[in-house]
Amino acid sequence: MEEKLDRILRSKKTRQIYLSDYPLIQEYLNSRFPNIDVSAVKIYVSTPKVISAAGFPEIGGCYIRHLKLILLKNKMTIGSGDFDNKFDRLLNDSVSCSADVEDVLVHELLHAVSDAAGRSLSRYEKAEEEFVYSTSLDFLLSKGMTEDDAINNNFIPFFLNSVMANRKVMSGIFVELKRARQSVSVVPTEEQFSSKRVKDFMSKYANFIVPRVIDSARQKAQEMIDRYREHGLKSLASSDNFDRSMRFSSIDFE
């Protein structure tokens, strides 16, 4: 880990930025979390190529907890860019994710806030991400975005992963497919959710499955926002467990 990081920090394409260069973010964090100071967190920006080459595939950036350090890509990337299957290709073509560096910086700083607040949620990845997405929402709205913009530009990658990791939702889509296409006699069941088999199946029926996965992801993002609006952060602890087993490595975003 440290060696990989070293490679990024030594690159000529990497530069350090400072929270003080982003007064709007600073103001936002101070107003929401007046007792938490994340000014000691170091922030570095580099190119997607440098960061991905060092083995950090995240879409926009990451917060490295034990080093109190944030890495940001100067441009968001979805996946590796050369997808070997139709499903990933179609999915990536269908979502336009245009969050800018500032949005990703807010996201990663909120992970730092969560860390500084001692929220020991690292085991509960979904709850941690929901905390971050929910608490970033008002910042995004303050930039003139609508909730739909926030979902489509910023939140969708995480919820796509979440939907595809959700066997119940995916099974539902597969059953729907079987009902709609008489020619489909067998769909993957939970016991058969081995990655290769399901991926092949999903690629074969990508035109049917992708729009439904995206709809479902948007719906889940909206539900999170509604829960947050109604109950505040209390609601996040009760989120159901996040099953990573079906995640696609090529769309690994958080």
Nearest residue (CB) to Zn ion, 206 versus 250: 250
Nearest residue (CB) to Zn ion, 132 versus 198: 132
**# chain residues binding Zn ion, by CB under 5 A:** 1
Task: Build a one-symbol-per-residue string for 225-254: x at contacts with Zn ion by CB under 5 A, - elsewhere.
Answer: -----------------------------x
130 makes contact with Zn ion (CB under 5 A): no
Nearest residue (CB) to Zn ion, 22 versus 131: 131
Beta-carbon neighbour count of residue 33 at 10 Å?
Answer: 17
Distance CA 242, CA 239 (A): 9
Min dist. Cβ of residue 23 to Zn ion (A): 23
Min dist. Cβ of residue 111 to Zn ion (A): 6
Min dist. Cβ of residue 211 to Zn ion (A): 26
Task: Build a one-symbol-per-residue string for 177-216: x at contacts with Zn ion by CB under 5 A, - elsewhere.
Answer: ----------------------------------------
48 within 8 A of 73, measured Cβ to Cβ: yes
Min dist. Cβ of residue 133 to Zn ion (A): 8
Beta-carbon neighbour count of residue 222 at 10 Å?
Answer: 15
115 makes contact with Zn ion (CB under 5 A): no
Nearest residue (CB) to Zn ion, 115 versus 254: 254
Min dist. Cβ of residue 247 to Zn ion (A): 14
User: Token pair of 247, please?
Assistant: 């995640």
Binding site for Zn ion (CB under 5 A): 254
